[in-house]
Structure formats: structure tokens, C-alpha cells
Amino acid sequence: MSLLNFIFNYKVKHNLAVIACLISLLSSCKTHYSFSGASIPPEAKTISVQYFQNNASLAPPTLSQTFTEALRDKLSSQSHLSLTTKGGDLSFEGSITGYATSPIAIQSTDQAALNRLTITVNVKYTCSFDEKKNFDQSFTRYADYTSAQSLTSVEDGLIHDINDQLVQDIFNRALNDW
């Protein structure tokens, strides 16, 4: 019996020692996370966002301003770069090219149960340090609303939601290589 006790105690002590070493080793490892996930060239110091002109015939006149400000806010809050009016190391310019509402869910009474507001923005991105990252691309997002609501009553909220989605898409494409 004493030999079995000795072997059992030895295995338990050995396993505890191995576990203690592993815990100590793993607790000393550190992982660094970036909450924005942005991969900005280290030499970049400034970013510029030109005013996005409204070329969509049905868009409200404030759409250009709200979209441009949303993009500027996202870029300045998610990066260490200084916002400048022109000639930034990273540069965004473009226009709002589409603004449309359309029915998407037709009921048996030939009336729409849901309508969709769609906004399209064309963006030209220029990185002065890496031409391979440059792009000229259209981004489209939408939001749905019920036919019981008029567009004018929900338009501001829909535009806000769509702008957030568009800005995130543009940020991901330019600075996250998505």
C-alpha cells in the first residue's frame, strides 16, 4: 500500500507542478487588440475629407452635410490622424449619387407592406504612401420602413442609420483592407 500511496502522491505533485508552470507561462503572455482594427500607414499624419456633393435628385438638401460630417467624425474618432481641410496623407472625396425609395413587399391588395430607402455614395480614396490602396468605388446601403409610415416622418432616422452603415463600409474598405 505504501508504494501505491507513494506513486499516487508523486503523480499528483508532478501534475500540480506542470499545471502551475503552464498557468504562470500563460499569464505572462499578452495580446494587443485594436478596437477599430484600422491598419493605417505609420507615416500618415493627416486625413482629409472633402465635402460630398449631392448629385441625387430626390435627396434632401441636408444629406451632403450629414454624410460628410458622419465620415469625418468616424475617421477622427477611430484614428490618430489629424483632420485637415485639403491634401491629407489619406484623402476622401466623392458625391452622393443615389437616393431612392421603392416598395419591396407587395401585399395581395397590390399595396406595399414595406418600403426601402436606398442611398448610394461614390468615394475616391487616395493614400499618398501606397497607390495599391487607392480606390474609386460606389457604396450602397438601405433601410426599410412600413407603408403605414410616411417617408417624411421616418426619413431623418433612416438617413442616420444608412449613413452609419455607409461610413462603416467606407472605413473598412479604406483602413481595414476589407
* Pair (7, 85) in one structural domain: no
Name the residue among 136, 166, 143 with its Cα closest to residue 64: 166
pLDDT value of position 33: 31
Name the residue among 68, 81, 57 with its Cα closest to residue 163: 68
* Pair (11, 87) in one structural domain: no
* Pair (9, 94) in one structural domain: no
pLDDT-based confidence at residue 176 (cuts at 50, 70, 90)? confident
The three cell numbers of residue 46 are 493627416
* Pair (10, 75) in one structural domain: no
Range of the structural domain that residue 95 is part of: 46-175
Cβ-proximal residues to 159 (8 Å cutoff; 6+ apart), any chain: 60, 63, 66, 117, 119
* Pair (67, 1) in one structural domain: no
Residue 140 lies inside a defined structural domain of this protein: yes
Residue 101 lies inside a defined structural domain of this protein: yes
* Pair (115, 159) in one structural domain: yes
pLDDT value of position 25: 44
* Pair (54, 25) in one structural domain: no
**Cα–Cα distance for residue pair 19/37, rounded to 1 Å:** 34
* Pair (113, 26) in one structural domain: no
**Cα–Cα distance for residue pair 83/108, rounded to 1 Å:** 52
* Pair (69, 147) in one structural domain: yes
Residue 38 lies inside a defined structural domain of this protein: no
pTM over 0.85? The answer is no
pLDDT above 50 for 157: yes
CA distances from 54 to 11, 107, 120, 121, 148 (A): 75, 34, 10, 9, 28
* Pair (77, 137) in one structural domain: yes
Query: pLDDT per residue over 91-141, tens digit each?
Result: 999 999 999 999 887 776 667 789 999 999 999 999 998 889 999 999 999
Residue 40 lies inside a defined structural domain of this protein: no
* Pair (102, 79) in one structural domain: yes
Sign of CA dihedral 70, 71, 73, 78: positive
The three cell numbers of residue 9 are 502522491
Query: pLDDT per residue over 15-72, tens digit each?
Result: 655 565 445 544 443 322 333 456 788 888 999 999 999 999 899 999 999 999 999 9
